[in-house]
Amino acid sequence: MAPAHEGSGGKVYLFGGYNHNNNPEDLDRMNDAWVLDLSVPGWAEVSVTPGTEPVRREGHSMVCTGDSLLVFGGQSMSGGVFQRHNDLWKLTLATSTWQQLTQTSGTLPPPRSGHSAVWNPDTQSMLVYAGADGSTRLSDLWSYSLTTNVFTQLTPTGGPLGDRWEHAALWNPVDNTMLITAGFRMNVPGTPGTPLGNDLWSYDPQANTWTELIPQGSPNAPSGRRVTSLVWNTATQAALLFAGHDGQFLDDLWEYKAGTWTQLVPASSPPARGFHLGAWTSTQVMIVFGGYDGSYLVDTWQYTP
């Protein structure tokens, strides 16, 4: 339950998350940063100045800008009370230094957790989509410019129906679009309850337009699920979706390419799980770490296509 992102030189970073081994419960959320160096291979904690890091949290997002990590939102607990956040933090990788990026004008996105965020390298901006603030479910889309340090709410044409949280997203560098899939869906016209999504959508920032790629309920697609992982395979120019929860924990692997989902069957696979993290690396492998299957997991797996 901690976002990860690939940095330079075959390294994968993670920050925060949830580990139900602490008393009081306030300490179940984490605020440590770690790096997996595939040349070793091994995990090492990023040494930062104590007291400068964001508060403990889970359900946040993290993107890599190339030389830094941006952490946005999430939820923490203080005195047994949940607190959801809309703060933005930057970890400069070269110096292992945290800095809170405080917007001095304009409007901020509402606090949230269970949202998604991707990094658009062309415009040096982060896209934040949907999530939840307690019982308030969201469907909004925001763009954050690292250059100007300003969030802007976007009003695109079309888009997924209803609100969504605990979904997955990635940046498609070929089409310069954001892809989103899975997650809880709520307040969808004509659809009662909170069905799990298996629809796939593409957002084009240049045209400010959503396009549905795979409709909800498609049989030729992964089952509707939440707390899954979605990464972009730069070797084959395809999306890889792994595991999640659809009423039970899953261990399936899917590839989306040229408009079609295909289930892949590797020779071996990690045990079923959700709430894990996934990252694609410059060494052309996918990394899967941790998650939950009824117990909290700390294993690390590498998938080579």
Gap between the Cα atoms of 154 and 301, Å rounded = 37
- Phi, psi dihedral angles at 227 (to 5 degrees): 40, 50
Give dist(CA 206, CA 227) in Å, integer: 29
Q: Chain centroid to CA 116: how far? A: 5
Q: How many Å separate Cα 106 from the centre of its chain?
A: 25
Q: Which one of 26-30, 193-197, 232-236 scores highest in mean pLDDT?
A: 232-236
Please indicate, yes or no, if residue 40 is contained in any of the structural domains.
no
* Residue 107 in domain: no
CA angle 35, 128, 217 (to 5 degrees): 100
Q: Is the dihedral of CA 239, 240, 244, 250 positive or negative?
A: positive
- For the cut 60, the answer to whether the pLDDT of residue 8 exceeds it is no
Across residues 150-175, what is the average pLDDT? 97
Evaluate whether residue 191 is within a structural domain.
no
Tell me, yes or no, whether 236 lies in a domain.
yes
Give the other-Cβ count within 10 Å of 62's Cβ. Answer: 24
> Within a domain: residue 297?
no
Q: Is residue 274 part of a domain?
A: yes
Question: Three-state SS for 298?
Answer: strand
The three-state DSSP-derived secondary structure of 147-188 is CCCEEEEECCECCCCCEEECCEEEEECCCCEEEEECCEEECE
Q: Report the pLDDT value the prediction gives residue 5, as an integer from 0 to 100.
A: 60
166: left (phi over 0), alpha (psi -120 to 50) or beta: left
Name the average pLDDT for the chain. 94
Question: Domains in the chain: how many in total?
Answer: 1
11-25, 159-173, 217-231: least confident range: 11-25
Domain limits for position 246: 227-290
Percent of the chain predicted with pLDDT > 90: 85
pLDDT of amino acid 79: 84
Domain assignment present for residue 248? The answer is yes
The pLDDT tens digits for 65-123 are: 999 999 999 999 988 889 999 999 999 999 999 999 999 989 999 999 999 999 999 99
- CB atoms closer than 10 angstroms to residue 236: 12
- The per-residue pLDDT for range 120-158, each reduced to its tens digit, is 999 999 999 999 998 899 999 999 999 999 999 999 999
Pick from 1-15, 51-65, 169-183, 211-225: least confident:
1-15
Dihedral sign for Cα 118, 119, 122, 125, please: positive
